[in-house]
Amino acid sequence: MKRAVILASGNGSLAQAIIDEPQLGGQIVAVVSDRADARVLERARTSAIPTHVIEMKSDRKVWDKEILDCVNNLKPDLVISAGFMRILSPDFVQTFPTINSHPALLPLFPGAHAVRDALAAGASETGTTIHWVDQGIDTGKIIMQARVSILPGDNEASLHERIKEVERGLIVAAIKEVLPTLESRHG
């Protein structure tokens, strides 16, 4: 069974969709968060999935090493960034095959405020992208995308909620596609 680790910072509705998928093709061996109060940790515990919290340090390099060591101990074949609001170090992304779910149609609207930026640009549609994580910010190779219309009267919260409805299905589909292509690194 392939081993996957989820990274998430907040609510964790994407993580929940992944955890709930019976045909994922792999096992979620842990959820790792940078926030001790993240709701995703409760969701993981409810499903008896081990959790780890690596809070940001004043010295960013210390945090980079802590999260790399933590995830390394979990021996993942795949790391899934699902609502994780931190940039991973070059060392991290070179060590673990890592995918990320982003709430826009990359390369449009990279960064932490993708939904707000799409609205501010006056776009008529946006969407969601699952991509490999490289050393840039939301620049890695695209795996899958799905479009979402921007409706008159949408605000950041309403649009983000509609994107996430699509995103939950897309991340699960991407994991199912990607996991069988990865070499099992841990027998």
Binding site for ligand GAR (CB under 6 A): 10-15, 82-83, 85, 101-103, 112, 114, 164, 167
| Total count of residues recorded for the chain | 187
Q: Which of 52, 102, 131, 160 is catalytic?
A: 102
Hey, which residues does 51 pair with through a beta bridge? 31
Nearer to ligand GAR (CB atom), residue 14 or residue 44: 14
Active site residue 113: no
Name the nearest CA neighbour of 137 among 87, 89, 100: 87
Q: How far is CA 58 from CA 37, 64, 71, in A?
A: 19, 11, 20
Instruction: Using DSSP bridges, classify how beta strands 125-132 and 142-149 pair: parallel, antiparallel or unpaired.
Output: antiparallel
Number of other CB atoms surrounding residue 90 within 10 Å: 11
- Closest CB 183 distance from ligand GAR, rounded Å: 27
- Closest CB 178 distance from ligand GAR, rounded Å: 17
- Closest CB 126 distance from ligand GAR, rounded Å: 11
Q: Which residues are catalytic, by number?
A: 102
